[in-house]
Amino acid sequence: MPATITVQTVRDWEFRVVVQEGASRTEHRVTVDPAHHQRLTGGRVSAEALVRRSFKFLLAREPKESILRAFDLAVIGRYFPEYERAMKR
């Protein structure tokens, strides 16, 4: 069963993400730097959509329990060098 990813805006550039797999769920607080968002998407994709896509990317590589509970989206590139290239597609 694939994970359900729910992204809610907390305030500008800050999101609450819930990842649900069956009865198991994790919650994450994610910030997005506007310049990083622009660099990855060229403004063609909302920050919320970028966060959702980023979580799909992460879940393809690690279990939801391994994802940091609070982080800035730019941190993903430190762990996964292919992240930015994948998001630009």
Per-residue pLDDT at 1 exceeds 90: no
pLDDT at 68: 96
pLDDT at 32: 97
Per-residue pLDDT at 6 exceeds 90: yes
| DSSP SS3 for 19 | strand
Residue 82's pLDDT band (cuts 50, 70, 90): very high
Question: Could you state, in order of their start, the residue ranges of all structural domains in the chain?
Answer: 4-88
| Contact between 8 and 16 (Cβ < 8 Å) | yes
Q: What is the mean pLDDT of residues 59-85?
A: 96
Inter-CA distances, 69 with 16, 46, 76, Å: 10, 22, 13
Q: How many CB atoms lie within 10 A of CB 52?
A: 17
Q: Is the pTM of this model over 0.85?
A: yes
Mean pLDDT score of the chain, rounded to an integer? Answer: 95
